Structure 1
């Protein structure tokens, strides 16, 4: 089930179009219902309304508001850990850590690629700062039978925000069974993008008749939603779709993995901006982009 994009484009303003098209649709066609957008359970509370007003008065972007963010830093500064660690986290989140992205934004001519992520800009995120350390201690692991890794990435296509959804299914020896990537409508949060990518990936596996015993995601929040069976709020219908598909493909185990263990799926998601097609699938590693081939081979070597 998809939106009638042509009709929406003819009726609504660009900003409204973006909001409408970003709403996930359930393939079960449930009845419409009202939800409060600014928390995960979808019910209005005075506390949530006050936080929204506070955020608006501080000129924050309301659409990106996290209900717990206003009290987060108070809790962080009260932690019994060295202040240099808290300062490091603060610099990272506020984008003032001395990464290559920050240096380039300061108009200094340097190589932008992160030394730990092939063909990726070194971003102002903790992921790239600790990638080398994680690479030495955390590895992608071989599944018992087969495992699917899923990821979503924000991409810009012709001045339009889109998201790239991807999945990679590998067998017990690490060999490729099926991989896919698709251009999907932009989502208002990383968690929503990840959840929509998972549902799309499971639909693809269902069509191919695959059984997926294990599923790995690098979004801890989405994994927690799934484990807690959180089916209320804005993403409730999408979570319900996930559970239906999970049963249909025989998925028994959903777990969180750090980004370094999900690198292959991440690289596939980023490649959608180079695809002429809306979606692509691969059954042989030889047919994939060279950097993805190298990443898959690294996973196999490190897991043996």
Structure 2
């Protein structure tokens, strides 16, 4: 089987796994379902192993498929990087670039910042996937992931894009009804709108270290815009980055609550797999986003 067909077979295999079906893989790759099925069959024939277990209702990886998947992703990644290096040598930025980002920040700020980058580099084929879970950049096939907060994975290199303050906010109606807390100690009796899976999210700088506060939970959710809107609806206090609540504060839908202690902040990073290095188009994206957000970022001015 020709080498180019093998690469196409790898692309069909990875797309089928990531999309969950041959039909969805065909839509992603821009081919017919029969073409993708044929390439999968040819790949399995060349390898002498069945990679996918397919039925009318579902598709799953076989044991051989599980073993082969990370290698297939690595081969495709290396081929993509090789093409990118050739493009870089010609002093133009082109080719695929796949990144992941949290839903709320992607909608509110990342999307608009990317428009300028794409206008400046029309040869780049950007895939932006918005997801509030912590995706694995290497295993999930992303060139980079945007993170709000520390990047502790030693397999990743993190480049800081912008700083971010976090503040307590609530609606005027909630504060009129429940009172305004004046210290971290008073937060325990208030209703809190919390980010899911962060038990120690409300951390405040006090003399001698950090004070962790646990309010009465009214809502747990993994999306900042839902937390913001719940606060506007008067359901409780919430602790959010300023890039979520800038407009709501300006029009009076939310008020900042000062408890005499600064909440723990966070920074925005773009992180990429250490082993892949930083291709020119990713370096250009980092520089473009830094310029778009500014220092200090526009949402804190």
Q: Pick the TM interval, shorter chain.
A: under 0.3
The structure with the largest strand share of the pair is: 2
What TM-score, normalized to structure 1?
Answer: 0.26
What TM-score, normalized to structure 2?
Answer: 0.27
